[in-house]
Amino acid sequence: MSQVRILPGLPPQGAPQTVRLTKVDVVKVSTGYRASKVIGASVVNEANDTVGKVDDIIIGQDGKSPYVVLSVGGFLGMGNKLVVLPYEQLKTMENKIVMPGATKDALKALPEFKYASS
Predicted confidence (pLDDT) per residue in 57-87, tens digit: 999 888 888 999 999 987 666 678 999 999 9
d(CA 69, CA 21) in angstroms, rounded, equals: 30
Q: What is the pTM of this model?
A: 0.76
Planar angle of CA 89, 95, 101, nearest 5 degrees? 35
**pLDDT computed for residue 4 by the predictor:** 55
8 burial level (CB within 10 Å; 0-12, 13-18, 19+): exposed
Condensed to tens digits (0 to 9), the pLDDT of residues 3-30 reads 555 556 666 677 777 888 889 899 988 8
CATH class for domain 34-108?
mainly beta
